[in-house]
Amino acid sequence: MKNKEKYKRNLPHIQPLDQIFFVTWNLKGAIPKSKILQLKNEYKKNIENITDKSKISIEGKRYFKNHDNELHNLSGCQHFLKNNKLAKNVADTLHY
């Protein structure tokens, strides 16, 4: 892949050249599907009648924050990265 600073696939992605950036690693099943659907439905409801694009962006940030909070507050779900073998695999992949 060329060293592009910005590209779009499913979402806009920015790869700052020679910069630090964060990665959210969300493994399938980490958040219950019912919770993900609830968050998506809340987002859709919140943007339904918005015409100002900057406000839609704010709702998108709120959705991301709520989704991220769910990852931090998991209860009764698997914590995959507590498994040393899986955590090492993720770390090795990031370093690759």
Q: Is residue 17 part of a domain?
A: no
In a domain, 65, yes or no: yes
Burial of 62 (0-12, 13-18, 19+ CB in 10 A): middle
Provide the domain limits for residue 51: 28-95
23 falls within a domain = no
4 in a structural domain: no
Domain count of the chain? 1
Closest CA to 62 of 80, 83, 84, 39: 39
- pLDDT tens digits for 67-93? 888 888 876 666 778 899 989 998 898
Q: Is the pTM of this model over 0.75?
A: no
Contacts of range 83-90, beta carbons closer than 8 Å, 24 or more positions apart = 90/25
pLDDT at 1 exceeding the cut of 70: no
Coil/strand/helix, residue 6: strand
